[in-house]
Structure 1
Amino acid sequence: MKNGILIYLTVIVLGVSFFVMTLNNVFTETYDIERFSLASETIRSPITIENEQETERKTRETVQGVADRYKISDEVSQEQLSYIREIFDAISILEKKSNEQEKENSNVVVPITNQMKIEQLKQILSENITSNISDSTFLALINVHPEDRTTGSEIFLNAVEETLGNGVRTENIQTAISNVNEAIKYNTTINESLKEPLMDLTKFAIVENSFFDVEKTSEARKEAASSVEPVMIRAGEVIVREGQTITNEIYEKLNLVGLLDKERNVFPIVGLVLLIVVLCGMIVYEMKLLDKQRDLDKSKIISIISIPFINISLMKIVSLFMTEENHLFLIVPAATSALLTKLLINDRVAFVLSAINAIFGSIIFNGEIAGSLNTEAGIYFFISQLAAIYLLVNVKDRTAILKTGFGITVVNLLIVLIFIFLSFEKYSLLDLVLHSSLAIASALLSAVLTIGLLPFFETGLGILSDIKLLQLSNPTQPLLKKILTEAPGTYHHSVMVANLSETACEAIGANGLLARVGAYYHDIGKTIKPQYFIENQLSIRNPHDFIEPKESADVIIRHPYDGAELLRKHKIPKEIIDITMQHHGTSLLKFFYYKEKESNPDAEESRFRYPGPKPQTKEAAIVCICDSVEAAVRALKDPTEEKIEEIVAAIIKDKTTDGQLDDSPITLRELNQIQRTICETLKGIFHSRIQYPTKEAN
């Protein structure tokens, strides 16, 4: 945990920068405003809240607007109609009896006076009728021709029935009577002599039959009250515009949403601080995990801090130009963070930073409305970054980033379509084209920015990415060409060690590409004096036969450090230099040591050991093992499977016993896996060949 203090310091700086960039998105300015003064600026609501006082007023007005409910009494209506029918039926019966009597007493003339007719009619009518209708009305009805009376009675009954059916209340009795009278007066079918008595009869027929219904009225008022929508003050809604007078109503709204309460502003800030602490804690955890795995240095710490800072800064800049209509967050190249982090660190850290970027993005694009989050922006950023992480595979050069950019384009477009289809709002074709264009621009910008920023991290911070490793592995690299031309045997040896190292690293989850490239350059120092190394001694005598063992040891021991110096001059990344310096650790040059012992029994062993350091990483340790294994197996005259297994096991045991792997994080289980993998690879290289018969044998 050698980077502990640096981790905490840098994360604190990052947390403070996050706080500064998002403070105005959660902090709401309060105002010292007096009633009936003029507003100095346009003020919007920071929250969505119900205006209960206004809701109550609206409910009260709605209830008061509900008309009283009345119940029409069918009994009253039918009773009045039956009275009218009774009158006309009685008159018809009297006429019938009168006609029969006249026939029976045709020879005797008995005159019947009008008064007698009225008296006879009253005798058969209900008391309620006789007490309310005048004799003149009865007489007028009696004297009308029967056919005219029948026609007029039907029309009159229909008019009365219709009026009573509509309901007659106390306050509109006169209106109802007038309506019936007008229907009679202007009806040409009714005999003129009948209209007057019928209109007199209307006053009796039309009575109150619609009465106030308490239950229905109460139910209607309750229903009206429940149908009233709460009056809401929406977040972002303009409460008062610049220059407008602060009325009592506006003042109460400002107070309701908390714009006059300074104490209320503290809580969003506390919430933001807690969120930043949690998210920064995640970053600290990931960096400590890398540190524990010995995969964290100052350059990576700066990268982990600077990448989200750059990304969130871009979000903040874009948010300054965003409105509710333009959805400008779609153009933010959020995937840049995921691409850079995956290339420079690893997938896990890229995923964590993607989640953090998405969370901050949902805050930054909340329209500076405290307490709200732009979930669309958060989802868009997160999925876009996930797509970058999953799609960036098989990185061979920088064109792989561009290919990933096209994949992100497809994902971004899908997200835009999902938002549109899930929305209740109607989008025009122009909106669809605009949003899609922004999403496409975001993906392409992400790829371009990644390609543009990657060299700054690789060169400025000395971070070794897969793309840089692939460039260094190109045979056209000047140093690799130097090995090939000046020490061809060493070049072949390096290629073999690279194959073994990459396979072994991949077997235990280490960086196989780093091990391969490190193996290519690990013996670059042999180009200083290539003839002193056996793999390059093809047609010459061994120079070591003509010098002292100490001098031979000096030449051999110098090659890792000469190589490191050569790599530094060519500005090769530190990881490659470390593998070059560490691939022999502090191991003993046994051949020259024991040769020296033959002539000098007091020879010091330390004089024939590499000065180190020992391998510090898994990749350096594996190159160290594979370097010795390849040289030993190549020296075998008949490399059988048994011999290969014996040599590999012996070399690994010797390295372990000699303490050469003590400083590397390799475990015993991983060593066993490395041993099996190297053996399988070597068996594939030195497999048994078929012995074809010669001509002589035939």
Structure 2
Amino acid sequence: MNKDRIIQKLTHYFRHDWLRYLMTAVLCTVIFFSLTYTNVYMETYDIEKFSTAKEAIRSPITIENTKETERRIREAVQSVEDHYEISSNVTEEQVMAVNEIFEVIEKIESEDLKEVLSKTTVTVNDKVAYLKQLVEEDSVREMNSAVFIALFEAEASDRLLAKELLTSSLYDAFHTGIKVEEEQQVISSIEQKLSYSTLDYSFVQSLKPLIEYGVEPNSFFSADQTNEAQKQAREGVEPVLIRAGELIVEEGQVITNELYEELEITGLLNEKRNIFPLIGLLILMLLLGMVVFLELNHTSNSSYTTRKLVAIIVMSGVIVGVMKVISFYVTTVNPLYFITPIATVSMLLKILIKERMAIVFSIIYAVVGSVVFNANIPGLLNMEVGIYFLITQLVSIYFLAIVKDKAAIVKTGVGVALMNAITVYLFLLLSFEKYDWSDYLLFGSYGFLSAIIATVLTVGMLPFFESGLGILSDSKLLTLSSPNQPLLRKLLIEAPGTYHHSIMVANLSEASCEAIGANGLLARVAAYYHDLGKTVRPHYFIENQMGMKNPHDYLDPYQSADIILQHPIDGANLLKKEKLPQEIIDIALQHHGTTLLKYFYYKAKDKNDNVKEEDFRYAGPKPATKEAAVVSICDSIEAAVRSLSNPDQKEIEKIVSSIFQDRMLDGQLNDSTLTFMELEQMKNVICETLKGIYHSRIQYPKTENMKEAK
């Protein structure tokens, strides 16, 4: 069998939905198994102390090295320096005492001491004696008189400068703190500072007793502060973790006592290998894969496109990968699994695919999570994680009702955050361990953070799946269905008749699609935009003429046909320009298929028998999906029924049947995969809907007749 034939056969097989579903289930199973393999199976080694490692050995689990943690705590506590407490009272007292001496000197200099002392002549010694009488401090009285004599003999400006320099120096020294052993050093420093000023050196030297008087220790050892610092140092030491995947021993390295202890801690020494947990894990993942396949195959039609299946695989790989990364940092005292943004996938699955699929995968991810966070203990399923993951996902699905904008996702995130915190507190209260209020606050914040991250990731990843993978979600369709959408406003303003026609077609299309199991929301939104091309020349279409003369009366049939036949292409171009989803562009382009523009064709034929039919056919292509075929049929039916002056039930049924028959005979539905049963269901729904719109009404009597009856 040659290469081309193999490729052709594979392409033929992959057209079958069941094969695409099987491949998706297999890939999901492979992802789940490959990322949970190490959680149930650990490779062990037969190694002795001081031997040489034959290969590099990495840790299979994340675990704390308690001995190393305790050693680091001891070192941190020993490195803490003694803490001292600075007394502000000493600062104020000493500076005030120095200031008082200068103030007394200034007072004495300003007074007439001859009258005060009853002397005819007042000497410097008299001033010093009088100063010692005025001050209260004994230490000042006992101070060497030379310092006071120098101050009295100095110029007033020098005295003022000395006061400012001395007090500012004292403030600086007291601010940083003066210990007992630093007293002489501070005195020398202040003396040196004064000597660098413009003051005379001999004057500065005479001030030394005053400097010694002003300097006094104000920094005292604080046992409380020292103990608190040691406590903070102890708490600041992070637990020494041997992380999963961390290199413990390099190839050719000698196994020291320390390395041997790490190998013992991680459980890598001479333990019997057991493959049974591995077999059990494989069976579990195969069961989950089978659930994926059965759920995908549950829907009879091809609602799961290849792009959606790729999205499922990508989301599964990403979220289980995130679980695995977080599991490396989980410890018995720090349950970081509460921070896993598992609600991201449940919200994305509901938005991009459907609610049922989101619920099924919520159960699957909860089971996988219970394996990932099993602390690498074979045979253990972390039921706390499984329940938490299941609750947060189901809550997100429940709260995420209709996604009209990103605000709906944010509101859902708020609800998930509250429920996450409640679930976390539930587990803490049910446990036998005692938790501090700070633990409740911390672990509850994990639940809040999980919801916040999930909300951010959902909002951020949604455009990737919608644009990158080209998935058209219900939220995107609801956004496009808003009357404030620029293209719909353009249609309403420039072609109001066409806008009303599009609304009617949308109602018929949605009802028809729901009857046959197609995407009713897609059909409705596509119907809104299907005649957008008419806004290029709105008055050339009868629904927009509103009493004005028909411009086609003045045109050749070929010219009229060119204008009418162009509107699907114009509409597709406008939609492409505004970057609308390809599904809507395709329906706008296909909604007339390759049908014949009969009115102008026969009008031209009346003038010339040699008219080519292809000149009056739309360029196509024919409707390629059920939704496109539904919009095409409903478009023709609505226009035909609208043209009736007074439609009754029989006329409506007759027109609907004739249009269905015409489309089938013309081969316009051949590419749409619509079955005869679905066409019959559509016909019944359309007739019932039109009868409800054009039902007969009571003829009320005129006002004049009512007066006569009275």
TM-score normalised per structure 1: 0.63
Is the contact between residue 398 and residue 467 of structure 1 (CA under 8 Å) also seen in structure 2? no
Residue of structure 2 equivalent to 1:542: 550
Residue of structure 2 equivalent to 1:30: 44
Within-5 A mapping of 1:98-247: 243=257
1:302 matches 2:315:
no
Residue of structure 2 equivalent to 1:394: 402
SS, match of residue 358 in structure 1: helix
- In structure 2, relative to structure 1, the CA distance for the partners of 1:42 and 1:653 (3 Å cut) is closer
Is the contact between residue 287 and residue 301 of structure 1 (CA under 8 Å) also seen in structure 2? no
Q: 1:641, CA displacement in angstroms?
A: 3.1
Q: 1:418, CA displacement in angstroms?
A: 4.5
Residue of structure 2 equivalent to 1:553: 561
Is the contact between residue 621 and residue 664 of structure 1 (CA under 8 Å) also seen in structure 2? yes
Letter in 1 for 2:646: D
Q: 1:589, CA displacement in angstroms?
A: 2.0
Deviation string 1:535-568 (CA, Å, 9 cap, x unpaired) is: 1222433233333434333322221122112211
Q: 1:242, CA displacement in angstroms?
A: 8.2
Q: 1:265, CA displacement in angstroms?
A: 5.4
Q: 1:422, CA displacement in angstroms?
A: 4.7
Q: 1:431, CA displacement in angstroms?
A: 3.9
1:404 matches 2:404:
no
Q: 1:337, CA displacement in angstroms?
A: 0.1
Q: What is the alpha-carbon distance in structure 1 between the residues aligned to residue 58 and residue 307 of structure 2? A: 47
- In structure 2, relative to structure 1, the CA distance for the partners of 1:417 and 1:655 (3 Å cut) is farther
Is the contact between residue 42 and residue 242 of structure 1 (CA under 8 Å) also seen in structure 2? no
1:576 matches 2:589:
no
Residue of structure 2 equivalent to 1:317: 325
Larger CA deviation: 483-492 vs 31-40: 31-40
Letter in 2 for 1:243: N
Within-5 A mapping of 1:455-466: 455-466=463-474
Is the contact between residue 506 and residue 523 of structure 2 (CA under 8 Å) also seen in structure 1? yes
1:677 matches 2:655:
no
Find 2:524's aligned residue among 510, 516, 526.
516
Is the contact between residue 641 and residue 647 of structure 2 (CA under 8 Å) also seen in structure 1? yes
Deviation string 1:351-408 (CA, Å, 9 cap, x unpaired) is: 3332332222112211222332212112221232222223322332222222322333
1:260 matches 2:274:
no
Q: What is the alpha-carbon distance in structure 2 between the residues aligned to residue 665 and residue 34 of structure 1? A: 71
Find 1:482's aligned residue among 490, 493, 499.
490
Find 1:618's aligned residue among 626, 629, 644.
626
1:337 matches 2:345:
yes
Gaps spanning 5+ residues in structure 2: where?
1-13, 63-243, 245-254
Q: 1:306, CA displacement in angstroms?
A: 1.4
Is the contact between residue 24 and residue 293 of structure 2 (CA under 8 Å) also seen in structure 1? no
Deviation string 1:411-470 (CA, Å, 9 cap, x unpaired) is: 434533553455444555444443333223323332232122212222222221222112
1:21 matches 2:29:
no
Is the contact between residue 371 and residue 380 of structure 2 (CA under 8 Å) also seen in structure 1? yes
- In structure 2, relative to structure 1, the CA distance for the partners of 1:297 and 1:506 (3 Å cut) is closer
1:2 matches 2:15:
yes
- In structure 2, relative to structure 1, the CA distance for the partners of 1:426 and 1:629 (3 Å cut) is same
Q: 1:632, CA displacement in angstroms?
A: 1.2
Q: 1:316, CA displacement in angstroms?
A: 2.0
Query: What is the alpha-carbon root mean square deviation over aligned residues?
Result: 3.8
Percentage of matched positions with identical amino acids:
52
- In structure 2, relative to structure 1, the CA distance for the partners of 1:42 and 1:611 (3 Å cut) is closer
Letter in 1 for 2:531: D
Residue of structure 1 equivalent to 2:65: none
Letter in 2 for 1:321: Y
Residue of structure 2 equivalent to 1:194: none
Q: What is the alpha-carbon distance in structure 2 between the residues aligned to residue 10 and residue 34 of structure 1? A: 47
1:375 matches 2:419:
no
- In structure 2, relative to structure 1, the CA distance for the partners of 1:246 and 1:458 (3 Å cut) is closer
Q: What is the alpha-carbon distance in structure 2 between the residues aligned to residue 402 and residue 509 of structure 1? A: 31
- In structure 2, relative to structure 1, the CA distance for the partners of 1:571 and 1:36 (3 Å cut) is closer
Q: 1:276, CA displacement in angstroms?
A: 4.4
- In structure 2, relative to structure 1, the CA distance for the partners of 1:375 and 1:625 (3 Å cut) is same
Deviation string 1:324-355 (CA, Å, 9 cap, x unpaired) is: 12221112111110100111112233233323
Residue of structure 1 equivalent to 2:218: none
Residue of structure 2 equivalent to 1:192: none
Count residues in correspondence.
499
Is the contact between residue 532 and residue 571 of structure 2 (CA under 8 Å) also seen in structure 1? yes
Letter in 2 for 1:358: A
Q: What is the alpha-carbon distance in structure 1 between the residues aligned to residue 615 and residue 16 of structure 2? A: 35
Gaps spanning 5+ residues in structure 1: where?
47-235
Deviation string 1:168-225 (CA, Å, 9 cap, x unpaired) is: xxxxxxxxxxxxxxxxxxxxxxxxxxxxxxxxxxxxxxxxxxxxxxxxxxxxxxxxxx
Q: What is the alpha-carbon distance in structure 2 between the residues aligned to residue 680 and residue 451 of structure 1? A: 41
Q: What is the alpha-carbon distance in structure 2 between the residues aligned to residue 527 and residue 297 of structure 1? A: 33
Is the contact between residue 395 and residue 466 of structure 1 (CA under 8 Å) also seen in structure 2? yes
Residue of structure 2 equivalent to 1:598: 606
Q: Which has the larger radius of gyration?
A: 1
